[in-house]
Amino acid sequence: MNDTPNRTPLTADVERHLLDSVGVAPAEASPSDLLQAVSLAAREQLSRRWVASTAADRHAKARRVVYLSMEFLMGRTLGNALAALGLEGPAADAAQAHARTLEDLQAHEPDAALGNGGLGRLAACFLDSMAALGLPSFGYGIRYEFGMFAQSIQGGRQVEHPDPWLENGTPWEFPRPDVAWPVRFGGWVEHPQGPGGPAVWHPAGTVNAKAYDMVVPSHHDERVSTLRLWRAAAPAHIDLTAFNSGDYARAAEFKNQFENISWVLYPNDSTPAGRELRLRQEYFFTSASLQDVLARHMAEHGRLDNLHEAVAIHLNDTHPAIGVAELMRLLLDEHALPWARAWAITQATFSYTNHTLMPEALETWPVGLIQSVLPRHLEIVYRINHEFLLQAARHRPGDNAFLQRLSLIDESGERRMRMAHLSIVGSHKINGVSALHSQLLVNTIFSDFAAIWPERFTNMTNGVTPRRWLAQANPALAALLDESIGTAWRRDLDRLADLAPLADDAAFRERFGAIKRANKARLAARLQRELGVPLDPDSLFDVQVKRIHEYKRQLLNVLHVVTRYLAIIAEPQRSWVPRTVLFAGKAASSYVAAKTIIRLIHDVASVVNHDLRVAGRLAVAFVPNYGVSVAEALMPAADLSEQISTAGTEASGTGNMKLALNGALTIGTDDGANIEIREAVGDDNIFIFGLRTPEVEARRREGYRPGQIAAAHPTLQQVLDAIGGGLFSPDEPGRYRGLVDSLLQVDHYLLLADYADYVATQQRVDALFTDAAAWQAKAVRNVAGMGPFSSDRTIAQYAREVWRVQRGG
């Protein structure tokens, strides 16, 4: 320690870690050395809190939530950890002592991108809220060696690169070499006591699941929660024979066969080998997690017949659904419980969240594949199904079609196991993720189940954590809120309602507007640097950021951009409201239509951005590699949030919440959580357009004719002709002919039906934007209305109504 004025204990810790842990002279530390040292200094403080929380829960034998999720889209950790510890200031000082800023260091931290999009990010927000509410909780998932692919754009096309986020290690995980569970696959099953009794499974192979823990700090107290991720390791003895004979290549290949289970998020599922690997992943992490839960329970309670009183296990979508059969197997075969008791415990322990209504997205597995990978589980599912269908038959005697629809096995073609059905039958509570979605579940895809068990179905509207999505992502707005309404919003987001009166306060609006302007300028500078596209921070920033998918209708947005482009050219003398349209999002690597949309966005951008006739009035940019960190930069800079899915397709959306929380106005359809956002912010503060869910259904029923819509609408026809005729792809005029033809002939997501209303609504957006005071007032009212969309509210509701868990000591 020397006597530099802003030396703090943290600075001393950082210097110590540079010397003792990183192994570098403090004067020579690079930004990534410093990142490492600051992270280690924060980590050691969290570690102490963690040990204390875990010991308290163990001592209290606390009832715990176990959240099983194939994906956790965590993003970066350092900023969150520092905020939770109240060390942001001292960490900035420590960086400054080396002539760096904290942002310089953080830019070197890779995102933990162990997820695709909304579902994985939801799991991450939920962990934050479970910690904030002090719930004794564990998240469980897979420690993928490679996360979500990194996206770059070459020649307007998406190129996928591996994401080796663990290449240089991570300071945020704690390996637990003592915690390893065998996970078995294949082989055959023996029934020494006859068909109904406990079975002996003779697997063909066994892989070890080894635990790596990540800390999940609370921002409000000293409690810490855990995300436990499993890595697949070949059993140590396995390669010895090959090694002894000097055949290292064969030994390595053998090892890989086991270890590839935790290599990569979403193996290519267009091949049988890729699909089988995915099934193995699902079973791998579910089995390891359940074995871990049972061992902890036995250590605390010494018996399993009260398992459901001590733990609530949640299935985040159907990826861990095989857990229903796995828990049964563990209770029956390894702990000798009778079937009826085991089944009662299982149903009382599990709960399940559905995330999609789209039939093609509902997970099923060929029975033949389950037979070869998980033979014992297949037997168990058959028996669950048999007893369930007997029970169901009593509800509607003689109705065979009813039973066929309910069955856990789809017999209509190649026999397949329906994982959503297994999840429902094995759970005591089932929920959707927005009011509309939960209602549609009960009325459509799960109506037969709801007829039998209406009391099991409920709604838990999604939320987002205000710590990451407001406090961290938008520090200037957070500071303005602290000053205006106090700091309590950070743990009680309903307090944002106190902002509402300030919407009418001109001085406040001015400060609020200045913060948005500064966020836009910062983003513009970054995109100038990274993409070479100049953007005008005074233009309206119109933002659509999310996975690229046909149902999310980025293409409808493009139709509007082209409409605007052609209109400006046709009437150059009119005063146009300047607009910058920003896109970001990844397309699944095998999703051809989504990749074509990315290419079209780039082709349109390149024509529009180089056309002097629209300069200063319209610009388009695609921000590559959408992920949590990119989202944190984009959300605070948005004026307009595009949430334009076909009504009835977006289960909830959470991007819509993050953007409104940062003061963007929504233009959206009557879909998912948009409906609840509209109720919360008021009809006058949101732009809703387009067909509603029942109207979408009616249009499809009547026989939808998109070609007729285009024929009756000259502007739309002109836009389609421009795209289909090659205006944006002069080097290959036919590039988008197929895309346009499919819109004219099929248009499964009804873009053309919603086009006219969408374009008219965009004109209302323009009109409002010219009145800065009116726009800012509505933006303030959006922030004020976002209280209900905190994931703290969602998790409190799960804790009360689904999990029945309480804050730990």
Ligand X SMILES: *Cc1c(COP(=O)(O)O)cnc(C)c1O
Task: Name the residues annotated as catalytic.
Answer: 355, 546-547, 552, 654, 658
Query: Which tokens is 207 given?
Result: 């892989």
Q: How far is the CB of 198 from ligand X (least distance, A)?
A: 44
Which stretch, 51-59, 116-124, 183-191, 302-310, contacts ligand X (CB under 6 A)? 116-124
CB of 749: closest distance to ligand X in angstroms? 15
Question: CA-to-CA distance for 575 and 291, rounded, in angstroms?
Answer: 66
Contact mark string toward ligand X, 26..55, x via CB under 6 A: ------------------------------
User: Closer to ligand X at the Cβ: 118 or 366?
Assistant: 118
Cβ-based nearer residue to ligand X, 281 or 629: 629
Please report whether residue 546 would count as binding ligand X according to CB under 6 A: yes
Applying CB under 6 A, which part among 2-10, 250-258, 624-632, 773-781 lies near ligand X? 624-632
Decide if 192 contacts 103 (C-beta within 8 A): no
Among 79, 90, 110, 117, binds ligand X (CB under 6 A): 117
118 makes contact with ligand X (CB under 6 A): yes
Q: How far apart are CA 174 and CA 180, in angstroms?
A: 14
**Nearer CB in complex with ligand X: 539/649:** 649
Q: Which stretch binds ligand X (CB under 6 A): 44-52, 192-200, 470-478, 622-630?
A: 622-630
Tokens found for residue 488: 């309590």
Q: How far is the CB of 129 from ligand X (least distance, A)?
A: 15
Residue 221 tokens, joined: 């107290």
Alpha helices by DSSP H, listed for 367-416, are 367-373, 375-395, 400-406
Residue closer to ligand X (CB basis): 208 or 656: 656
3-class secondary structure, 674: helix
Q: Which is nearer to ligand X, 118 or 636 (CB)?
A: 118
Instruction: State the nearest-atom distance from the C-beta of 159 to ligand X, in Å.
Output: 19
Tokens 């009547």 appear where?
702
Distance in Å, CB of 687 to ligand X, minimum: 17
- Between CA 420 and CA 298 the distance in angstroms is 30
Site string for ligand X, 62-81 (x = CB under 6 A): -----------x--------
Residues 119-158: x where in contact with ligand X by CB under 6 A, - otherwise, as a string = --x-------------------------------------
Which of the residues 701 through 720 are near ligand X (CB under 6 A)? none
3 state SS for 446-505: CHHHHHHCHHHEEECCCCECHHHHHHHCCHHHHHHHHHHHCCHHHCCHHHHHHHHHHHHC
Task: Quote the CA–CA distance of 696 and 690 in Å, as a whole number.
Answer: 9
Select from 51-59, 620-628, 692-700, 742-750 the region that touches ligand X (CB under 6 A): 620-628
What are the start-end ranges of the H helices in 627-748? 628-634, 655-661, 674-681, 693-702, 706-711, 714-724, 737-745
34 or 661: CB nearest ligand X = 661
**How many Å apart are CA 790 and CA 132, to the nearest integer?**
12
Which residue pairs from 97-104 have beta carbons closer than 8 angstroms and sit at least 24 positions apart in sequence? 97/4, 97/6, 97/7, 97/11, 97/14, 98/26, 98/29, 98/34, 100/31, 100/34, 102/38, 104/31
Residues 626-685 that bind ligand X (CB under 6 A): 626-628, 631, 653-655, 658
C-beta of 420: minimal distance to ligand X in Å?
Answer: 21
Angle at 732 between CA 730 and CA 734, to 5 degrees: 105
Q: How far is the CB of 43 from ligand X (least distance, A)?
A: 24
Answer whether 406's CB lies under 8 Å from 421's CB.
Answer: yes
Q: Which residues from 431-450 bind ligand X, rule CB under 6 A?
A: none
Tokens of 657: 């919440």
According to CB under 6 A, which residues from 179 to 198 bind ligand X?
A: none
Nearer Cβ to ligand X, position 409 or 628?
628
Estimate the crossing angle of helix 737-745 against helix 751-769, to 10 degrees: 110
Closest chain position to ligand X (CB) = 655
Tell me which stretch binds ligand X (CB under 6 A): 18-26, 113-121, 381-389, 722-730: 113-121
First to last CA, the chain: 37
For residue 719, how many other CB atoms are within 10 A of its CB? 26
Closest distance between ligand X and the C-beta of residue 462, in Å?
8
463 lies in the binding site for ligand X (CB under 6 A): no
* CB closer to ligand X, 42 vs 631: 631
Q: Mask: binding to ligand X, 547-566, rule CB under 6 A, as x and -?
A: x-------------------
Q: How far apart are alpha carbons 141 and 518 in whole angstroms? A: 38
Size of the site for ligand X (CB under 6 A): 14
* Stretch touching ligand X by CB under 6 A, among 54-62, 157-165, 523-531, 625-633: 625-633
Cβ closest to ligand X, residue 152 vs residue 257: 152
What is residue 358's three-state secondary structure?
A: coil
Tell me whether residue 72 or residue 181 sits nearer to ligand X (CB atom): 72
Nearest to 659 by CA among 785, 763, 522: 785
Distance of closest approach, residue 121 Cβ to ligand X, in angstroms: 4
Place of tokens 């984009």: 634
Q: Which of 115/320 has CB closer to ligand X?
A: 115
Give the CA distances from residue 188 to residues 128, 200, 378, 383, 768, in Å, rounded to whole numbers and listed in that order.
Answer: 42, 9, 11, 17, 68
d(CA 239, CA 520): 56
Q: What DSSP string describes 546-574? A: S---GGGTHHHHHHHHHHHHHHHHH-TTS
Q: Does 17 bind ligand X (CB under 6 A)?
A: no
Give which of 209, 213, 231, 174 is closest to 288, Cα–Cα. Answer: 209
Instruction: Give me the amino acid identity at 201.
Output: W
Residues 578-617 that bind ligand X (CB under 6 A): none
Examine residue 228 and tell whether it contacts ligand X (CB under 6 A). no
Question: CB 526 → ligand X: shortest distance, Å?
Answer: 17
Number of alpha carbons in the 13 Å side-chain half-sphere of residue 162:
10
- Window of 114-122, 188-196, 373-381, 705-713 that interacts with ligand X by CB under 6 A: 114-122
DSSP 8-state secondary structure symbol assigned to residue 21: I
- Nearest approach, Cβ of 518 to ligand X (angstroms)? 22
Give the distance, in angstroms, between the CA of residue 585 and the centroid of all CA atoms in the same chain.
Answer: 13
By C-alpha distance, which of 311, 325, 238, 320 is closest to 284?
A: 320
Binding region for ligand X (CB under 6 A): 73, 117-118, 121, 546-547, 626-628, 631, 653-655, 658
